[in-house]
A and B are shown apart, each in its own frame.
Chain A
Amino acid sequence: MIEAHDLEKRFSVLRKAGRVRRAREDVVAVAGVSFTISAGEMVGYIGPNGAGKSTTIKMLTGILVPTSGRATVAGIDPTRRRVEVARRIGVVFGQRTQLWWDLPLRDSFDLLRHVYRVDAEQHRRDRDELTELLDLAPLLDIPVRQLSLGQRVRGDLAAALLHDPEVLYLDEPTIGLDVVSKARVREFLAARNRERGTTVLLTTHDLDDIERLCSRVMIIDHGRLLYDGALSTVADRLGEDRVLVVDLAQSTPALQVPGARVLSVEGPRQRLAFRRSETTAAALISAVSAAADVVDLSIEEPDIEAVIRRVYAGDLTL
């Protein structure tokens, strides 16, 4: 459904070099990215700020023309046939609205019907369904500028889906949303993907979004894809390090247990790092309880966020 072949985008920027002189400099935003996303997939696209996520999406929507390489969306080149692609995709930029600022949602939706030339009956049905799913009924008559961020994002989602696009691009859809609004948006997206088979490409800084929605994740940094595969693989391959936290009956010096390394001793609480490949949690627990009197224990699973942070920092290669 979405294909990218060696997509590259360079910008030339003018940098101040002295009082009047300006130096021209080539900045590579996306440096040859290739991937294929099949119909019905929901893919997370993550990377630190400035990694090239938005630039990639803008090339896949036809907003930006790639410097080299090629993209196709639903079999169409978005650069050459942007208008055709526009009919088949929906886009939500979390930071920005594509609704008309001074108009109530109802009027925006009406305008979009004409913009996308959707049949009136079809439009009414889809609008009513989206209104119900996103709980927009009480907001329909309020001008967009008076909506809260969460309300506005829901409005934007409805607006992006009114023409029933095959592909949905979401650029940080949950940025700045509270927990409840986030959950609602995620639930809605998952259902839409399940029921209509909408292909979704999602960029986000919120790994919770990815964990809950996407079975596949692509990690980009400095314009290059670092990883493309299942999120669980990232967790498995990198998340070997687990931590056993034990609260002992009394403070003791660092425990000596085979297969584990003591990370810290805080009074009666000790944290022991161990590897899945070297020992099991059960073996470790029995070894610890043999050595000391355990009051309480818990296991810390690898923090996916920490893992991704290490990937960005270049500590880990996938």
Chain B
Amino acid sequence: MQYRTSFALFTLSQFAITFLDFVGILVLFANVDALAGWSLAEVAFLYGIANLAFGLADVFVSPVENVQVAIRAGTFDQILLRPVSPILQIVTDGFSARRLGKLAQGALVFAFAVAAVEVDWNLARVTMTVVAVLSASTIFGALWVATSCVSFWWVEAREAANAITYGGSFLAQYPLGVYGPWLRRGLAYAVPVAFANYYPATYILGRNDRLGAPSWIAFASPLVALLVAVLSALAWRVAVRHYRSTGS
């Protein structure tokens, strides 16, 4: 926190940029009443969960992508010499409060959506909402870790991996129904962001458009999140074993 003004301006601009992002959805709804049958409040609910969760993952997990820098400079050696998980070391080292702007926007849209959707908030739905946010954060965090593994093989490939993290969170902002069948399947099974917010939202909002999936799929999010987390942890282990260090 050495540069307060710079910090404030950066956070504000991050907030503004992501806020404008949501303005895009507002503009969309000025022209149509529903997106694949979802109202503005409902889409805002999806969007809110997606951005709140992505914001959390962004603050706490995304610095893991700095592993690329450590690999290139060979400083990953030192990281491996300390008796603490390498991910934890990289994340704490790259922690930046500046990413809070994005998180704040997600939280704001989420709060708006919770107030706007016509939902009878009982214990089950509230629990489900909390579980959805946590599962979604876990899924996005796991995607950051999994895509960072790429750096161990191709040091320059990090940017391409962003297509999965940023791309995945972007696609999660809209109801699955707006996409074609291939993209739907990809979002459900390959990069499982549909489990981050869409399926839980169908339960919370009392909708039935699960697009052919059985009704219990709305409850599968924590399991999917766990599975993705375990898989990305395994990928990370393999990647670290593949680390080649630098000369000298």
Residues of A within 8 A of B (CB): 11, 50, 54, 58, 61-65, 79, 82-84, 86-87, 89, 91, 93, 95-96, 98, 115-116
Q: Which residues on the B side are within 8 Å of A93 (C-beta)?
A: 77
Taken together as a complex, chains A and B put the C-alpha atoms of A96 and B79 apart, in Å, by: 13
Closest chain B residue, CB of each to CB of A78: B80
- Give 1 or 0 for each of B171-194: 1 = CB within 8 Å of chain A CB: 000000000000000000000000
> In the assembled complex, which residues on chain A have CB atoms less than 8 Å from the CB atom of B247?
50, 54
Answer whether residue B4 sits at the interface, using C-beta atoms and an 8 A cutoff: no
| A114 and B78 alpha carbons, distance in the complex (Å) | 16
Q: Is the CB of B83 within 8 A of A84?
A: yes
- Known contacts A83-B83, A86-B83, A115-B83: does B245 contact A58 (CB below 8 Å)? yes
Cα–Cα distance between A83 and B81 once the two chains are bound (Å): 8
A115 and B74 alpha carbons, distance in the complex (Å): 20
Whether A54 contacts B248 in the complex (CB less than 8 A), given A62-B80, A115-B84, comes out as: yes
- 15 of the cross-chain contacts (CB-CB < 8 Å) are A11-B244, A50-B247, A54-B248, A61-B80, A61-B81, A62-B81, A64-B244, A65-B242, A83-B85, A84-B83, A96-B78, A98-B78, A98-B81, A115-B82, A115-B84
Contact A63 B83, beta carbon cutoff 8 Å: no
Q: Are B81 and A86 within 8 A (Cβ)?
A: yes
| Chain B residues near A11 (CB-CB < 8 A) | 244
List of B residues within 8 angstroms of A54 by Cβ? 247-248
**Which residue of A63, A83, A84, A115 contacts B245 across the interface (Cβ within 8 Å)?**
A63
A64 to B81, CA, bound (A): 11
A96 neighbours in B (Cβ, 8 Å): 74-75, 77-78
- B81 surroundings in chain A (CB, below 8 A): 61-63, 86, 89, 91, 98
CB distance from A82 to the nearest CB of B (A): 7
Min CB distance, B124 to chain A, in Å? 41
Residue of B nearest to A163 (CB): B83
Q: How far is the CA of A98 from the CA of B75 in the complex (A)?
A: 8
How far apart are the CA atoms of A95 and B246 in the complex, in Å? 12
CA distance A115 to B81 in the complex (A): 11
CB within 8 Å for A82 and B78 given contacts A63-B243, A64-B243: no
Shortest 7 CB-CB distances between A and B: which pairs? A86-B83, A98-B78, A87-B83, A83-B83, A63-B80, A65-B241, A63-B77
A89 to B80, CA, bound (A): 12
* CB nearest to A87 among chain B residues: B83
- How far does the alpha carbon of A16 sit from the alpha carbon of B242 in the complex, in Å? 22
Instruction: Report the minimal beta-carbon distance from B79 to chain A, rounded to whole angstroms.
Output: 9
Once bound together, how far apart are the Cα atoms of A173 and B242, in whole Å? 27
A159, B222: Cα distance in complex, Å? 42
Q: In the complex, what residues of B have CB within 8 A of residue A50's CB?
A: 247
- A169: nearest chain-B partner, CB-CB: B81
Residue numbers in A under 8 Å from B85 (CB-CB): 83
The distance in angstroms between the C-alpha atoms of A50 and B248, with both chains bound, is: 8
Quote the shortest CB–CB distance from B243 to chain A (angstroms): 7
